[in-house]
Amino acid sequence: MARNLLQRALRISFRSGIVFSVAALPVCTVRAEDAPTSARIEHGRYLAVAGDCLACHTATGGQPFAGGLDLKTPFGIITTSNITSDKETGIGNWTFQQFENAVRHGKGPNGHLYPAMPYTAYSQISDPDIADLWEYIRTLPPVNHKVESNKLPFPYNIRSLLVFWNLLFFNDSAFVADASKSEEINRGAYLVNGLEHCGTCHTPKNVFGGDTKKTFQGASLQGWYAPDLTNNAHTGLGRWTEDDIVTYLRSGTNRYTAASGPMTEAIVNSTQHLTDADLRAIAAYFKSLPPRTVSPPQPLPASNEQVKAGQQEFVVECSACHRSNGKGISNMIPDLQNNPAINAVNPDSLLNIVLKGTEGPATHANPTGAAMPSFGWKLQDAQIADVLTYVRNSWGNAAPAISAANVSKARTALNAQPAVPR
């Protein structure tokens, strides 16, 4: 496959901007004598939440799980499939084996699935869990909605080519616990690398769209930068405690930052609904990863012309919320000091947020999410470049400068509103 197809396709929900309530997930009502089946269905429902199935298989304004969400790639369109129990347009005629082959092995009844379906991670789902997930999925009410999934042009529309991609980049094996690690850490590894498929977005891709060996070190995706999740203090989670990770995944905020863009969707639809034990397990797993030392660059001096100009813009445009010292408001407005997201080499997320704004996560634990307004209409490219360069080189931060050309390119790519002429 060509470069970035997998990276651009793996999380379809990222493109949609759709945020659902997990309450929209159908619940099957069963009789008392069916209690064992009921328990399995409810467990399957929980697994569907952990896997974020609803967001990917629901089009904007469409019926839950009926598919039809277009994934626009540089090579054409892949549209998500209907996975309701409709026998004509959904998977109502599927057997458990066909379901298991699709989810864990990327093989549908009509041929290989594109890695827009993250079977590369779901291969690690255990036998009992895939069986319970099937018990839940088969209860989804039928929705007659025909979807043409493969709209890719030649040669990308040839599914058989995926045989070679899978040989190169797909490790079709189940999760194996590490006997040297605790049960909690193994549970976290199972969730992170399987159902939650975190590496799908946070691991850089090679030229063919396969994962590199730089696991969790951050990657660009759809105008956003999925940040470094390694234990690196400058650009990753090195300063975060397990409590910080749990708080973030439950509420969308913590003392350091607030979720934005695609991660907001993941938290609202998925992680906030996980049990405390599973959130703790995820946190324990991430903090068990080996420390990764990265030598940060030297910050630009305060005398730098961009830094000086950016400081003036920051005082006028940003200090009301982020305060003049960049401290923000804990669990609401991100702290800009020593902020890994600010220090990221790739500024895609910062440019996206400043140009288009972002809605803060509204979760059960944090029902009032603070929004960041768009400044794309108000600030010229050079002004945005200056203020971001200032932020990225102040209060302990150190990151490369951003140019007006960088901002212009992002503005075009994001179809952001042009700035009002001055």
Q: What is the pLDDT of residues 216-235, one digit of tens each?
A: 999 988 789 999 999 999 99
Mean predicted confidence (pLDDT) in 150-163:
84
Query: Residue 387 phi/psi, 5° resolution?
Result: -70, -35
User: Looking at residue 373, what DSSP letter applies?
Assistant: -
Same domain, residue pair 111 and 161:
yes
Q: Is 51 among the domain residues?
A: yes
Q: What is the pLDDT of residues 180-214, one digit of tens each?
A: 999 999 999 999 999 999 999 999 988 888 899 99
Last residue of a domain, one of 180, 200, 235: 180
| CA 364 from centre of chain | 19
Q: Is 398 among the domain residues?
A: yes
Query: Residue 240 phi/psi, 5° resolution?
Result: -80, 145
pTM over 0.75: yes
Same domain, residue pair 157 and 14:
yes
Same domain, residue pair 313 and 391:
yes
User: Looking at residue 359, what DSSP letter applies?
Assistant: P
Question: What are the helix and strand counts (H, E) for the chain?
Answer: 19, 7
Q: Is 371 among the domain residues?
A: yes
Q: What is the pLDDT of residues 388-413, one digit of tens each?
A: 999 999 999 999 999 999 999 999 99
Mean predicted confidence (pLDDT) in 42-50:
97
Same domain, residue pair 17 and 161:
yes
Same domain, residue pair 16 and 133:
yes
pLDDT, position 35: 53
Query: Residue 16 phi/psi, 5° resolution?
Result: -80, -30
Number of domains in the chain: 3
Q: 29 has which bridge partners?
A: none
Q: Is 299 among the domain residues?
A: no
For residue 280, which amino acid is it? Answer: R
The domain containing residue 215 runs over which residues? 186-288
Site of tokens 């938290």: 267
